[in-house]
Structure 1
């Protein structure tokens, strides 16, 4: 639902009831991930999308019916129709489960607060029961303040605590996903499936080396939604004028800046200096941190020399398996702009544990389960 947070926030502030259709589960090849939503207000105004157009009309009718007839939340499934290509269904061949419910903003004031946080660019999460007892289906609970506080009630105290713990973990990782709680005497006898919608602070990309490739990479990374920092020890090169797309330009020794700054499981570190006096202490530290991606630029010869120096500095073989070097996918890139695409393509593939191969050479679904956002992992990379 957070894909349409600005409109939902405006409706909530006005106290305007609306029907909300949320993608809660995807199987096969489907165009949009869980958490994506379409909403319809009492005037018939629609916002959002759940399928890129395939089943929007049918879902709109369900929302209209929910507003007119009332009743509790209902689930619907849409899939491809082999018998009639023009029937309501997903022509891409996948299936989606959708939860449709009526939302009364005056009864869920915590939702207004969470949506306001999202609109203002602050981290927040909304936990929505999508499977379980009928009296709990569709109920929501919100986390604000970066997850430090929550509001709303799903069932009882133990259930709420269990959901909050799961929601906080997903918010820290910056991922929207399903959480399973209950099924035991300590929380709830009946098992609940809760879809946690998250809006986290943008992931960081740290680019070391104030070179032309860094200028192009900072632009590409900014387009992808990263908060970009360019760092170089040379003040004559590390200037804001040279890197207009970076959120920050820092003059400092790379390893010293990395030791002092904040990173997390979504951070990408790109080392473009290919200078041993910068690279070795920087990569020695970077490869010990729980970040999503570490890549270093350089030729095969530079890589072999850097690998030897890192081993001499005490970097383990296991840590070195995390180093993406030479950085980027083999796209035949030559210009800084082409190289930036090569690097960001590798980061995307790495984040989703994809092969990086042309889709025409693969089989199976195009859209992978759980691929809605960067994977909060710093596991070693394996060969495709």
Structure 2
């Protein structure tokens, strides 16, 4: 693969590349923090599948955990390098434009330094899930919860980074950015695609959580004898669910091409905004989404108005991604949208947009009451509220 920073002349604003690099770096930080949180949550679950009846599951689980943590290290490394290559590509474009238009010999072009990303991360391997004794239902359930939360975090981060790269795709920029698209496709193609590394890691985390719950459920059905054959009967298929994960993840790691960064003369890059350990939506208990528009035609109409596309609800509270990356909420009929639910959706929209440094907009159908519009303007401002239909 051609290194991203060595691409031929690109018909794209360098600022778009800088923004994408910033958001890839932020996504990397979220995933790294999620991995650290996962390993901390898994430490107390050692011995959760103890005993001979669950031994086959414990062995497959330990091997799968090691493979997942290794894959996640590769994910974090690849994202950091991708952020650096996008910045270097933008710097090269700025330098090329400067050299062809500069009128002052000693003028300095407006380039930027690479983001301070996580390099060569190391994640603590949990103690074995097997050993002497009996399996423990609470520990299995805790492990399942930890894996499920990391699955949500990986899916959230992958979707957000994918949105940040949309301006680099399409015929408008020609074929020169195919290398960027190809490299990203080896990392993410949605939460269920096993051939891309970040996607495969999300699949693996989901399977680990499901396997833990299956064994815990078998134990709960026979509380009188947690070491019974019922556990053995559940452990065998649970182990089968995990046995192919190491090879699946190794293949995904091998598909990610290695990039080299050719750094240009730079100036300090704006600091990646602090987002906390992970987006709140990724680690909070599941919440019912505020009733933004469930009518696909409304979202499609607003997508046409903004020149964007329907987002599919990633991130939360965002129905449409505008042509310039703005996050758009499409409000449902005001007759069925409660004030508290609307306010919660608007605050969620504003927080998501602030995290990714894009405008937040809310579209309401014509005929919406003045009280509803006033509430929306109080949260998003006058320019953030628009009408359609």
TM-score range, shorter chain: under 0.3
**Highest relative contact order (Cα 8 Å, sep 6+), 1 or 2?**
2
The structure in which a higher percent of residues are helix is: 2
Per the normalisation by structure 2, the TM-score is: 0.24
